[in-house]
Structure 1
Amino acid sequence: MKKIRVMITGVAGKMGQELVRAITQQKDMLLVAGCDISQVGKDAGEMCGIDAIGVIIEMDLGVTLREVRPDVVCDFTFGEALRKNLPLYLENRVNMVIGTTGLTPEELKNLEDECKQREIGCLVAPNFAIGAVLMMQFAQKTSQYMERAEIIEFHHPQKKDAPSGTAIKTAEGINEAKDQTYEEKSYELLPGSRGGHLGSVNIHSVRLSGFVASQEVIFGGEGQTLTIRHDSLSRVSFMPGILLAIRKMAKSKQFYYGLDKIMKL
């Protein structure tokens, strides 16, 4: 059986390390390279607490892509790093699974156009937890029957962007389903106390130690409320979704935004 050759960018980060452990347990995948600006020269397996796997962490992304020629590259870095990495992925015509958030709608559209022009497969997802994807689906369905919705998202303090990509995609789905605007009538004694606004949805971002990734979507209607909540208690929760994405993108030349696009929902 031909194995899927996978490369991880941001391999020394928490998501990258968890993904190393996950990929090495798959019979149909082979980790062939890892890039990062830290832990350079170390074995990727030993770095994340398992046996050595013979994959040495490199810093030069362009050289590594040309030498290794992976089937799929997984990017779990941060917004500014991703913006520098994308031209190299496109230049080397490698299929992508992107979990890094922070791209603007315009940047996502440009990436989609570039991928289609070059016939490169790419999946960009704000959240790879299956439960989070279902939460977004439930929220979109619920919004057709409830008057208003607000989102509270919780992440660890190291997360650089706010609101989260998951919150933005959830709000986009709610706005699409409702197709109506809402005029905010509250007067803020403290500016920002009502959160950020995306269409008819207010989004509130919490950054505290102890959280990995959680989100509440709170709906209000006449005489009732409904709360949909998802919690990722560890980064292991993201692995099934990432592995699903890798398998899909190893044989696809399509562009997808959201894990739901490749799930049978």
Structure 2
Amino acid sequence: MIRVIVSGFNGSMGQKAVKMVNQSEDMQLVAVFNAVITDLDPQTYGLADNVNVYNDFADVDIDADIWIDFSIPSAVFENTKFAIEKGIRPVIGTSGMSEAQTGELKRLADSKNLGGIIASNFGLSAVLMMKFAQVAAKYFAEAEIVEKHHEDKIDAPSGTALNTARLIYEARGHDQKQHNSNDPLNTRGGDYHGVKIHALRLPGFVADEEVIFGGTGETLTISQSTTDRESFMTGVKLAIHEVMESNHLVIGLEQII
């Protein structure tokens, strides 16, 4: 039985992670964590009486195999570091960490031979989109990314968009050519090694992204759309089983599918 802690358990994604664990025959929810709550009664949150509720790292004293994190960008680095130091395999879906932070966490986990994953997106359609974009990047010299999320998403650009841009850059091995532009309103978007990223935050979206490649006389658009967060749980479950058999931390679900 895989023993699981869910961090950010009372958020929209955290609730779905709790439900997924409770419905899995080979998993057991042993604890939940959120630093900002004060009520530690599991019944308050509709949890079983044997599930521990924590709001302080110092109180977490329980055997667990997996730390699922769907908290907030400002907390995820310390949460993940704590889990690794406790020997709990991290499965991190919270975005917002810098490359320096993810690099530090990878070095820490790898030094302990501890499996784990930090994924900007657990949706299989989004991961496959990133993989397809990486292939296309070898044949198209220029691309731009448009990502669309709900109005309450805290970070921009999304972790998925940044990871897509990173994969495009790695496939090419050099920065994308820049075009001079008179842009007083800064409409050209963010920039990752020359790949422009445009972030939309509007009601009606859950998580959409498209990568548009341009070449002489042709364009290629690779897009995906998420209409229900429940879809992410397929990737989370896949990741849990993979990291249980792994001895290192990977960045991106595309590394294991």
Same fold (TM > 0.5): yes
Q: Is residue 180–residue 200 contact of structure 1 (8 Å, CA) maintained in 2? A: no
Distance 1:38 1:90, change over 3 A: same
Q: Corresponding residue for 2:37?
A: 38
Residue type of the alignment partner of 2:217: G
Q: Corresponding residue for 1:62?
A: 58
Percent of aligned positions with the same letter in both sequences? 39
- Aligned partners of 2:149, 2:236: CA distance in 1, in Å? 19
- Aligned partners of 1:86, 1:146: CA distance in 2, in Å? 36
Deviates more, 1:239-248 or 1:55-64: 55-64
Tell me which of 51, 74, 84 is aligned to 2:78.
84
- Shift of residue 39, structure 1, vs aligned partner: 7.5
TM-score (norm 2): 0.92
- Aligned partners of 1:140, 1:87: CA distance in 2, in Å? 29
Tell me which of 2, 5, 8 is aligned to 2:6.
8
Q: Corresponding residue for 2:184?
A: 189
Residue type of the alignment partner of 2:10: A
Q: Is residue 84–residue 90 contact of structure 2 (8 Å, CA) maintained in 1? A: no
- Shift of residue 183, structure 1, vs aligned partner: 1.9
Partner of 2:146, secondary structure, is: strand
- Aligned partners of 1:56, 1:94: CA distance in 2, in Å? 16
Two-structure CA RMSD over aligned residues (Å): 1.8
Residue type of the alignment partner of 1:53: A
Tell me which of 213, 218, 234 is aligned to 2:212.
218
- Aligned partners of 1:39, 1:232: CA distance in 2, in Å? 33
- Shift of residue 17, structure 1, vs aligned partner: 0.2
Tell me which of 150, 153, 157 is aligned to 1:156.
150
- Aligned partners of 1:186, 1:95: CA distance in 2, in Å? 46
Match runs of 1:1-265 below 5 Å: 3-36=1-34, 37-38=36-37, 40-43=39-42, 47=45, 52-54=47-49, 55-64=51-60, 66=61, 68-181=62-175, 182-190=177-185, 192-263=186-257
Partner of 2:143, secondary structure, is: strand
- Aligned partners of 2:25, 2:72: CA distance in 1, in Å? 29
Q: Is residue 40–residue 56 contact of structure 1 (8 Å, CA) maintained in 2? A: no
CA deviation map 1:10-63 (0-9, x unaligned): 00111000111111111111111111233733437x747xxx533253322332
- Shift of residue 249, structure 1, vs aligned partner: 1.8
Residue type of the alignment partner of 2:16: E
- Aligned partners of 1:47, 1:232: CA distance in 2, in Å? 27
Q: Is residue 11–residue 76 contact of structure 1 (8 Å, CA) maintained in 2? A: yes
Residue type of the alignment partner of 1:124: I
Distance 1:62 1:88, change over 3 A: farther
- Aligned partners of 2:203, 2:41: CA distance in 1, in Å? 29
Distance 1:167 1:62, change over 3 A: same
Residue type of the alignment partner of 1:189: P
- Aligned partners of 1:135, 1:200: CA distance in 2, in Å? 20
Residue type of the alignment partner of 1:96: P
CA deviation map 1:102-140 (0-9, x unaligned): 111111111111112222222111000011010001111
Q: Is residue 39–residue 57 contact of structure 1 (8 Å, CA) maintained in 2? A: no
Count of paired positions: 254
- Aligned partners of 2:5, 2:225: CA distance in 1, in Å? 28
TM-score (norm 1): 0.90
Q: Which runs of 5+ in 2 are unaligned?
A: none
Partner of 1:215, secondary structure, is: strand
- Shift of residue 91, structure 1, vs aligned partner: 2.8
Q: Which runs of 5+ in 1 are unaligned?
A: none
